[in-house]
A and B are shown apart, each in its own frame.
Chain A
Amino acid sequence: MSELTQTPALSQPLRAESAAYGFHPPSQAELMAELGLKSRPGWTSRLPSGLAAFVTNGKGMVGVIILLALILTALFAPLLTSYDPNRRAGKPHVQPGYEHVMGTTRMGKDVFTQLVYGGRVSLAVGMGAGLAAAMIGLALGISAGYFGGRTDDVITFFVNVVLVLPGLPLIIVIATMVETAGPMVIGLVLALTGWGWAARTIRTQTLALRAREFVLAAELMGEKKWRIILIEIFPNMLSFVMGGLVLGTIAAILAEAALEFIGLGDPNAVTWGTMLYWGQKNLALQSGAWWEIWPPCIAIMLTGAALVLINFAVDEITNPQLKASRKIGRIRRFLSRRGRSADVF
């Protein structure tokens, strides 16, 4: 970086011109300051390019940090609280204070304890279901796109059916038929109903990749089909799989909370959704016990926001035009200060 920041030696005619107009060409450091650009820290260049693009994306990193913080508090729950999430820990509806950081529920259970332990289940179910849905989508999407023909027709039909059937009402039917829908059952159902979008985007991408020369070359070399899929096509799909994973996780966490909130889950499990369910059932808001409702709400909102930020980063990496558009305001101002038209952008 350092040798680049020095002003390059100017050619003779240009120097004469700039002297005539009293104009000094700006150094690269000045230009970068004017465009609001910072040079990347050196260690990012040693990372693989995909990871480097992610690490240098501000929004994405904020999301990763929030998500990591939530995961860590859930993992280290026993160290953060000495109460048992399933047992009465004090009088009902104690206000937040020294004894109970976030107060107690109407049953006298400690809200903070339930929040950190509930995070374990909610995050695990959400991420597990998101991962499973992304994997199903990946497998079906690549097979449909690569094999084509009859396979493609059949898979595309099922993808469209899954996309068209309304998710929550379908899950309601399954969950009521199962005697008690614990978090595992809910996660499984969400995984089985949530792979539509991932399969569709990955199929489209595979169709585009299949026509490219490197896949043709591998086919002509007589490589096996599974090897072409795994070695040639799959690495180019990683960012789409990431996108599917993030979107699937958002959908699963929100759907799990919604299902448990309307009373379809196992009411004895401690999750963010069942905390909301009990709060609503015990009329916590109406009786002024806001601390029973807001902590799980804020936890779910933070998780959603973090995943959305990560998804923004993934979007910008897969679609560079979106990333370029972020800087375009500064570039326009830069050009218009120099009297150039910025209309072409």
Chain B
Amino acid sequence: MIFLARRIAFYIGAFFLAVTFNFFIPRLMPGDPSARIIASFQGRLNESQVEAIRKSYGLTGSLWEQYITYVGSILRLDFGISTVQFPEPTASLLFYGATWTLVLVGLAIFFAFIIGSFMGIHAAWHRGGFFDSFFTPINVMLNAFTPAIVALLLFYAFSLQLQWFPLGRAHSTSISPALSFEFIGNVLYHATLPVLSIFLVSFGGWHLGMRNVMINLLNEDFVILAKAKGLSDRRVRYRYVARNAILPQITALALSIGFLLGGALVTEQVFNYPGLGKFTFTAIGSRDYSFIQGQLLLLTASVLVANLLSDIANVILDPRLRT
């Protein structure tokens, strides 16, 4: 349990570093967000109006007071008011977008991790065979084809040319959100291509990681002993080698979630999918700082939670950590 406690302490520290980073970046840059708004009035504001605008951005008082106010508002999940969708609070937009992004990334990770790991197990077991020498390089190369390009390719082929899949949106406007088979089916239909493009650029990583770890384990004494005992191939492969090889994979999975979320931001842009990426894109265009900073905090928090879950999974799978 000391292991978990130390990890949780680290995650809280990391989150506060992200908050501090968010706090200082706009204050270190030459033009803070309020200066831009004040400048747009071309000097027609009197002193008290300028003060009011600066106050609404939390820019009054000493730096330490500002910091305390900022941290306090973050802990109350108050990310400020969105300037794009005025006067909608940023937090509700963030959570709406994050729901759809989670659908995409969750489905993609699920399939990529399982399919990639099984391919890696297969490649390592029959290493040097056709599957290994052909698919391992191909899958890893797919990994280096950035999500933007794979998404564009799929969008061009299946949405524009063949018109098998819709051109955008998370679900048809004619169906209202409900827990019905029709609605869920419609959401899955719209999510197919975005999920596929995130899947295609990520499963090669699991394939290669699993394969390389397994190959190094296959010469270990415990594997040779298991084979010498006459255990079935299946049992040695999954219960002995794969179980040990999966541990670093789970840690890597949690760390890769930040990268996948970044990929999802780009993919949503191509497929016009109403997730965090789409909103972030609009926010960048109109310099909506509260949203842009909010997305960093939200994504950081989700990566940290994912890391915590992977630590718990590691404790369950690896008895050596249970001290």
Note all chain A residues with C-beta closer than 8 A to B130.
Answer: 329
A173/B25 in contact, CB under 8 A: yes
Stretch at the interface among A135-143, A223-231, A236-244, A260-268: A260-268
Task: Compute how far the CA of A167 lies from the CA of B255 in the bound complex, rounded to whole angstroms.
Answer: 11
Stretch at the interface among B77-85, B140-148, B172-180, B183-191: B140-148
Note all chain B residues with C-beta closer than 8 A to A163.
Answer: 255
Task: Compute how far the CA of A329 lies from the CA of B128 in the bound complex, rounded to whole angstroms.
Answer: 5
CB contacts under 8 Å to A, within B214-252, are 215-216, 219, 224, 227
Asked, given contacts A177-B29, A328-B127, whether A166 binds B261 with beta carbons under 8 Å apart, the answer is yes
> Which of A250, A261, A325, A328 has the most C-beta atoms of chain B within 10 angstroms of its own C-beta?
A325
Note all chain B residues with C-beta closer than 8 A to A263.
Answer: 281, 284-285
Note all chain A residues with C-beta closer than 8 A to B284.
Answer: 172, 176, 262-264
User: In the complex, which residue of chain B has the Cβ closest to the Cβ of A288?
Assistant: B160
CB of A52 to closest CB in B, whole Å: 22
Q: Mark B25-49, 1 if CB is under 8 A from A, else 0.
A: 1100111000000000000000000
Task: Compute how far the CA of A293 lies from the CA of B153 in the bound complex, rounded to whole angstroms.
Answer: 10
A315/B307 in contact, CB under 8 A: no
B127/A329 in contact, CB under 8 A: yes
B215/A325 in contact, CB under 8 A: yes
The reply on B314 being an interface residue by CB < 8 A is no
B25/A329 in contact, CB under 8 A: no
B258/A166 in contact, CB under 8 A: yes
A261/B148 in contact, CB under 8 A: yes
Asked, given contacts A59-B137, A285-B155, whether A258 binds B266 with beta carbons under 8 Å apart, the answer is yes
Note all chain A residues with C-beta closer than 8 A to B22.
Answer: 173
A178/B262 in contact, CB under 8 A: no
Task: Compute how far the CA of A99 lies from the CA of B29 in the bound complex, rounded to whole angstroms.
Answer: 46
> Which of A261, A300, A326 has the most C-beta atoms of chain B within 10 angstroms of its own C-beta?
A261
Interface size class of A (residues with CB under 8 A): 35 or more
A309/B137 in contact, CB under 8 A: yes
Contact of B141 among A166, A174, A179, A308 (CB under 8 A): A308
The reply on A297 being an interface residue by CB < 8 A is yes
Note all chain B residues with C-beta closer than 8 A to A309.
Answer: 137, 141
The reply on A276 being an interface residue by CB < 8 A is yes
Contact of B265 among A164, A177, A262, A286 (CB under 8 A): A262
Task: Compute how far the CA of A178 lies from the CA of B147 in the bound complex, rounded to whole angstroms.
Answer: 25
User: In the complex, which residue of chain B has the Cβ closest to the Cβ of A304?
Assistant: B144
The reply on B293 being an interface residue by CB < 8 A is yes
The reply on B299 being an interface residue by CB < 8 A is yes
Task: Compute how far the CA of A321 lies from the CA of B215 in the bound complex, rounded to whole angstroms.
Answer: 7
The reply on A254 being an interface residue by CB < 8 A is yes
A contacts with B: majority SS: helix
Contact of B148 among A160, A257, A285, A315 (CB under 8 A): A257
B152/A176 in contact, CB under 8 A: no
Task: Compute how far the CA of A265 lies from the CA of B2 in the bound complex, rounded to whole angstroms.
Answer: 45
Note all chain B residues with C-beta closer than 8 A to A312.
Answer: 137, 140
Asked, given contacts A164-B304, A301-B149, whether A169 binds B128 with beta carbons under 8 Å apart, the answer is no
The reply on A319 being an interface residue by CB < 8 A is yes
Stretch at the interface among B12-20, B52-60, B61-69: B12-20
Note all chain B residues with C-beta closer than 8 A to A307.
Answer: 144
B212/A315 in contact, CB under 8 A: yes
CB of B293 to closest CB in A, whole Å: 6
Note all chain B residues with C-beta closer than 8 A to A276.
Answer: 148-149, 152
Contact of A166 among B128, B259, B285 (CB under 8 A): B259
User: Taking beta carbons and an 8 Å cutoff, which residues of B are in contact with A?
Assistant: 10-11, 13-14, 17-18, 21-22, 25-26, 29-31, 124, 126-130, 132-133, 137, 140-141, 143-149, 152-153, 155-156, 160, 212, 215-216, 219, 224, 227, 255, 257-259, 261-263, 265-266, 269-270, 277, 280-281, 284-285, 287, 289, 292-293, 295-296, 299-300, 303-304, 307
Q: Give 29 pairs: A residue, B residue, CB < 8 Å, sorted on A.
A: A161-B14, A164-B14, A164-B300, A164-B307, A166-B258, A166-B262, A168-B262, A169-B261, A169-B265, A172-B265, A173-B22, A173-B293, A173-B296, A174-B25, A262-B266, A262-B280, A263-B285, A280-B269, A280-B270, A297-B153, A301-B144, A319-B212, A321-B216, A321-B219, A322-B215, A325-B127, A325-B128, A329-B127, A343-B227
Using A173-B293, A322-B215 as known contacts, list a sample of 18 further A-B pairs with CB atoms less than 8 Å apart, ordered by residue number in A: A59-B137, A164-B255, A164-B304, A168-B258, A169-B296, A172-B296, A176-B292, A177-B25, A177-B29, A255-B262, A258-B148, A258-B262, A264-B284, A285-B155, A285-B160, A304-B141, A309-B141, A328-B127
Counting from the closest, the 8 A-B pairs by CB-CB distance are A168-B262, A304-B144, A166-B258, A329-B128, A328-B128, A325-B127, A254-B146, A177-B29
